[in-house]
Every structure is written in C-alpha cells, then in structure tokens.
Amino acid sequence: MCLYLALSWVIAAFGEEICFRGFLMQRLARVFGGSNGAWIASLVASSVLFGWGHTEQGVSGWIQEGLSGLLLGVLFLVNRRCLAVPIIAHGVSNTLAFVLIYLGRYPGMG
C-alpha cells in the first residue's frame, strides 16, 4: 500500500496538478485573453478535461473527478495560483480514498 500511496502523490497529486492547473489552466487563460473571465473559462475547460481523463472510472467517476478538478482549480485561483495548495489537497484526497478502500469502507464498494 505504501508504494501505491507514494505513486499517487508523485503521479496524481504532483503530476496532474502540474499538468492541469500549472500548465493547462494558465495556457487556456492566456489563449482566452487573460481576463478574469478567461480564468473562469480556463477553470471550466480544464475541469472538464480533468474529468474526461478519468473515464476509466465510468460516468460517475468522470463527473466526480470533473467536480474535483473544479474544486482544485478554485483552490489554485483563490490561493494566487500557488500550486502547493491543490497538490496537497489532491494528495490528501487520494490518500483518504486509498485508506478507505484498504479498510473496505469506501462508499459504493462493498
């Protein structure tokens, strides 16, 4: 389990946040003009793509991860585009999910 947690922090928490919030959101905001509205559009677009990137979890996973991406993007924006906040939030969320799965207490699994 420790290996999976470590991989989750490196690949998902750090890697996905660098890609989706650190790169994609910023590039989309620039393409959309850089205004506050452009940042909101980049938030929505990157959240949809983040959810779509998790289609292996089925439709409910796609929606849930899209909403998670939206929340992580909001955290990124309200913290002055500091990636540390969504990276930590993403890592904690994944860690909690792994622990609940390991204990057989994850909602919907039984």
CA-nearest of 51, 73, 53 to 62 is: 51
Give the per-residue pLDDT at 66: 97
Q: Which residue has the tokens 């779509």?
A: 52
Question: What are the Cα distances from residue 54, in Å, to 8, 43, 67?
Answer: 14, 17, 12
Give the per-residue pLDDT at 59: 93
pTM (two decimals): 0.92
Q: One-letter amino acid identity for 4? A: Y
Question: What are the Cα distances from residue 48, in Å, to 14, 20, 102?
Answer: 19, 11, 29
Burial of 53 (0-12, 13-18, 19+ CB in 10 A): middle
Give the per-residue pLDDT at 108: 75
Give the per-residue pLDDT at 2: 87
pLDDT tens-place values along the chain, 110 residues long? 789 899 999 999 999 999 999 999 999 999 999 999 999 999 999 999 999 999 998 999 899 999 999 999 999 999 999 999 999 999 999 999 999 999 999 887 76
Euclidean distance between CA atoms 66 and 72, whole angstroms: 10
Burial of 37 (0-12, 13-18, 19+ CB in 10 A): exposed
